[in-house]
A and B are shown apart, each in its own frame.
Chain A
Amino acid sequence: EAQVTQNPRYLITVTGKKLTVTCSQNMNHEYMSWYRQDPGLGLRQIYYSMNVEVTDKGDVPEGYKVSRKEKRNFPLILESPSPNQTSLYFCASSGGPNQPQHFGDGTRLSIL
């Protein structure tokens, strides 16, 4: 089954404690993205990747890092999380620039 898998689904942690949210897709897609969703703001793109070792900033990249060492994986790294990064995060992948994105089920992060 074609899918985008995110882990963990839920995480409560404290300010400053580094965390990584993993994302994996099994569709051999070249393009992958990370979004955060906040009430009233819709989804905002954090980072996106067009291929292995090729990433670019989205609209809200501050405080986040990503890496794309393998085509299927695109982890999101919060090196020093802060409470304003409490949000619902989605990973997505697509097969090309004119293709729709497939979304994971989301990761709810709470930073205390």
Chain B
Amino acid sequence: AQSVTQPDIHITVSEGASLELRCNYSYGATPYLFWYVQSPGQGLQLLLKYFSGDTLVQGIKGFEAEFKRSQSSFNLRKPSVHWSDAAEYFCALKTSYDKVIFGPGTSLSVIP
């Protein structure tokens, strides 16, 4: 079955600390993977995407993600978190055409 899991429902970090948000997927073929961010009351903004090639992907706002096929993971990282990064983060898997499966999301709180 195709699925996306985000093990952490909520994470709290201090401003300036590093961040890693976990994402695991289940899919039998090469996945198209995305990370989106949603600020309160807003739509979803694309942070980065992975289709093929280099397994370390750079995105906007200083985020990066690493695709690890052997672990079926696509974890999102940021070396130094800013207070404005507080938001909901979604990992998503696109399997074919426009069939997309989202994870349940991880809520990030940032302590000043």
Is A98 a contact of B51 with CB atoms below 8 Å?
A: yes
**A48 in contact with B104 given A98-B51, A100-B49, A104-B43 (CB within 8 Å):** no
> Which residues of B are found within 8 Å of A25, using beta-carbon distances?
none
Chain B interface, >50% SS class? strand
Q: Which residues of A contact B104 (CB under 8 A)?
A: 40-42
A102 surroundings in chain B (CB, below 8 A):
46
Residue of B46, B98, B99 contacting most chain A CB atoms (<10 Å): B98
Residues of A within 8 A of B42 (CB): 105-106
Contact A103 B44 (CB under 8 A): yes
Question: When the two chains form their complex, are residues B97 and A100 in contact, meaning their CB atoms are under 8 A apart?
Answer: no
Does B102 count as interface, using CB distance less than 8 angstroms? yes
State how many angstroms separate the Cβ of A101 from the closest Cβ of chain B. 7
From A58, A92, A100, B99 is in contact (CB under 8 Å) with A58
Given contacts A90-B44, A103-B44, contact A33 B100 (CB under 8 A): yes
Cα–Cα distance between A45 and B94 once the two chains are bound (Å): 11
Q: How many residues on the A side are at the interface (Cβ–Cβ under 8 A)?
A: 28
- Asked if B98 contacts A44 (CB within 8 A), the reply is no
Tell me the smallest distance from the CB of B9 to a CB of chain A, in Å: 8
Closest Cβ neighbor of A106 among chain B residues: B43
Q: Which 7 A-B pairs have the closest CB atoms?
A: A31-B98, A42-B102, A43-B102, A42-B104, A48-B98, A103-B43, A103-B44
Q: Contact residues of B with A, CB < 8 Å?
A: 9, 32, 34, 36, 42-46, 49, 51, 90, 92, 94, 96-105
